[in-house]
Amino acid sequence: MSLELNLNPVFCNISENIGITFYGIMLSLGLFIFYKLSAKRIIKLYPNINAEELSNFFVRVSLAGILGARIIWALNEKALSLLDFLEFWHGGLSILGGVIGAFGAILIEIYLKKWDFKIIIESIVLYAPLAQMFGRIGCFLVGCCHGAASYNSFFSIIYLNYSCLAPCGIKLYPTQIYSSFFYLLLFLILKKLELNKSKLIIKSYFIGLATERFLVDFIRGDRQIIENKYINLSSHQYISILIIFIISLFIIKDFCKKIIFNRLNQ
């Protein structure tokens, strides 16, 4: 089954070189929903935070996330001009890079303001998958982050508008759709963990994030392979493996501490 998409990625033009794209619309919508839900939870659990201060915090974190996402994306591109780098509304953001940039900014802000780490981070990662889901839908609409050529897949996408960022007229893996469904599933899992008062919300988010990129990258059309004599993986897959490894160490550490604590209290 193939889905044909004949959509101009530009919703409307503001000037000759600047326009509002469907990617920009979906990204903005995702960030807005993410901010509203995260901020509501933070204020509910941590009422001492000033609403205006929290709003400024999210703006800075979002900018850091976009910058990190753009930098990691740019490192995988060739012959990229400064103007191309600045025009992020046309697509071209690495979700892993965005998480790294945003999380770095979050840690700095929490440390400087002496906020409660657990409440802030959990509130952010709970709703981050929704922002990422909308971002991937935006990718789908404009053709960026497209899949590789697909000839035997049960489901594929064919782009027909030559203004989009994907190759036109051929069957492609709908990687953006797969990622969107994965992020929706991750959001539902995290909400279930929240209801169960689990301590694994933050760790589960990062493992889910890395797992999604590691798996989907195998069928990405823009995959940048780092070749070696053992296995050929992309730079994003190596980053994903590193994230999973680090988070797994924290889980093992917490598990061992729990066992030791239980034995000492028997």
pLDDT tens, position by position, 86-128: 665 555 667 777 788 888 888 888 888 888 888 889 999 999 9
Is the alpha carbon torsion for 57, 195, 176, 149 positive or negative?
positive
Pull the structure tokens for residue 261: 């604590």
pLDDT digits (tens, 9 = 90+) for 179-205: 999 999 999 999 999 999 888 999 999
3-state helix vs strand vs coil in the chain, percent to 5 = 65, 10, 25
Tens digit of each residue's pLDDT (9 = 90 or more) over 230-255: 788 888 898 899 999 999 998 888 88
Using CA atoms, how far apart are residues 114 and 133, in angstroms rounded to an integer?
A: 31
- pTM for the full predicted model: 0.84
pLDDT at 188: 97
Q: In 3D, which of 142, 144, 134, 241 has the Cα closest to residue 181?
A: 134
Tens of pLDDT, residues 14-24: 766 667 788 88
CA 217 to the chain's CA centroid: 13
